Structure 1
Amino acid sequence: MSIGVENRGALDPYAAARAEQPLLGRANPLAKFGALAIITVALVWSIDWLSAGIAVLCELLTLPLAGLNLRLLWSRAWPLVAAAVLGGWSTAVLAPDKGPILFSFGIWTMGEHSLLLGLGFLLRGLAIALPAVIVMACTEPTDLADALAQLARLPHRFVLGTLAALRLVGLMVEEWQTIGMARRARGVGTSGNLLSGIAAKLGQSFGLLVQSIRRASRLAVTMEARGFGAGPRTWARPSRLSAVDLWVVLGALVIAGLSVGLSVLFGAWHVVY
Structure 2
Amino acid sequence: MTLLLDTHARTGTIARINPVAKLGAAFLVAVPLVFTIDIVSAATALVLEALLLPFAGLGWREFWVRTWPVWLAAPLTAVTIALYGQQSGTVYVDGWIVHISSGSLQLAIATMFRVLAVALPSVVLFATVDPTDLADGLGQVLHLPARFVMGGLAGLRMVGLFLDDWRALELARRARGVADRGRLRRFLGMAFALLVLSLRRGSKLATAMEARGFGAPGERTWARESRFGGREWAMLGLGAAIAAISVAAAVAAGTWNFILGPA
TM-score (norm 1): 0.81
Q: For each residue in 1:223-244, what CA deviation from the matched residue of structure 2 results, as whole angstroms up to 9, or x when unmatched?
A: 1111124244333210111211
Q: Would you say 1:226 and 2:212 are equivalent positions?
A: yes
Aligned partner of residue 99 in structure 2, secondary structure: strand
1:269 match: 256
Q: Which residue of 2 aligns with 1:208?
A: 194
Task: Provide structure 2 residue ranges, at least 5 long, that are not aligned to the other structure.
Answer: 1-7
AA aligned opposite 2:228: L
Change (3 A) 1:263 1:235: same
C-alpha displacement of 1:70: 4.2
Q: Structure 1 residues 233 and 78 mapped into 2: Cα distance closer, same or farther (>3 Å)?
A: same
The residue aligned with 2:23 is: 33
Q: C-alpha deviations, 1:68-110, integer Å up to 9, x for none?
A: 2443233223334433333222221111222233456765231
Counterpart of 2:100 in 1: which secondary structure?
strand
Query: In the TM superposition, what is the alpha-carbon distance from 1:116 to its structure 2 partner?
Result: 1.3
Change in CA separation of 1:178 and 1:101 when aligned onto 2, cut-off 3 Å: farther
In the other structure, the counterpart of 1:110 is 100
Separation in 2 of the partners of 1:127 and 1:190?
44
Note if contact 2:38-2:110 (Cα within 8 Å) is conserved in structure 1. yes
Distance 1:117 1:201 in 2: 38
| SS of 1:238 mapped into structure 2 | coil
Match of 1:8 in 2: none
Q: Sequence identity of aligned pairs in percent?
A: 43
Residue 160 in structure 1 maps to residue 146 in structure 2: no
Q: Could you tell me how far apart the structure 2 residues matched to 1:173 and 1:48 are?
A: 40
In 1: Cα distance, 2:18 partner to 2:201 partner: 29
Q: Is the 8 A contact 2:136 2:225 kept in 1?
A: yes
Assess, with a 3 A threshold, how the Cα gap between structure 1 residues 197 and 125 changes in structure 2: closer, same or farther. Answer: farther
Aligned AA (2:231): V
Cα 1:55/1:234, change in 2 over 3 Å: same
- Where do residues 89-128 of structure 1 align in structure 2 (5 Å cutoff)? 89-103=79-93, 107-128=97-118
3-state DSSP class of the match of 2:213?
coil
SS at 2:37 equivalent: coil
Q: CA deviation at 1:188?
A: 5.3
For the residue of structure 1 that corresponds to 2:225, the secondary structure is: coil
Q: Deviations over 1:193-228 (max 9, x none)?
A: xxx434433333323322222222221111111112
1:122 shift after superposition? 2.2
State the SS of the aligned residue for 1:109: strand
Q: Does 1:250 align with 2:240?
A: no
Cα deviation, 1:105-155, whole Å, max 9, x if unaligned, reads: 765231111011112222222222222212211111111111111122222
CA shift, 1:182, in A, is 4.2
| Candidates 212, 215, 228, aligned match of 1:241 | 228
Please list every run of 5 or more consecutive structure 1 residues that lacks an aligned counterpart in the other structure: 1-16
Q: Distance in 2 between matches of 1:111 and 1:78?
A: 29
Q: Partner amino acid for 1:146?
A: D
Distance 1:247 1:163 in 2: 27
Conserved in 2, the CA contact under 8 Å of 1:175 and 1:208? Answer: yes
- After superposition, the CA RMSD in angstroms is 2.5
How many residue pairs align between the two structures? 252
Measured in 1, the distance between the counterparts of 2:69 and 2:220 equals 40
Distance 1:248 1:121 in 2: 26
CA shift, 1:260, in A, is: 1.4
